[in-house]
Amino acid sequence: MTDVEEDQRRRRASEIRSAALAYVRECGRRGEVVDVTEFALRRWPRDGAVKRAIMTQALADDIADGVPVVDVWRRFELLGKIALHLTGASGYQALYDILERNALSPGFTATQIARWVSEGSLAVERAAEILGRRYQRNSRPGE
């Protein structure tokens, strides 16, 4: 591989990483999962269909890997339910597992969230959103 080819690979990888973070943050701002293809079309409007399709697939793969998702989630910029959906994780512990596998420090732990709720510095509803659960006030078990 030539230096030029290696440079292009690094540039593409850097662009995909940047695009993945931007995509996840957009999901966080909207509060919903954004269509990756539509995002890619807005991100790379001048690229040809073939190149954009390759970049879109690389973007989807990077998002599915979970690193950009948990990176944004741990900064409180993404609801837990969206993080779970994007990564295919079954629960918040799986998100922590992604952080651990990739040597990323968590922004918070479930224990910290519980303490913040008990101290009154974090609403129960917001804690549930962070962890990807739906909070229902005055609900009884089994309802």
CA-to-CA separations, 46 to 41, 55, 78, 116, in angstroms, rounded? 9, 12, 29, 47
d(CA 143, CA 139): 7
Sign of CA dihedral 18, 23, 26, 28: negative
Average pLDDT value over all residues in the chain: 85
Tokens of 40: 């890619």
| 134, amino acid identity | R
Instruction: Tell whether the model's pLDDT for residue 96 goes beyond 50.
Output: yes
Quickly state the pLDDT bin for 126 (edges 50, 70, 90).
Answer: confident
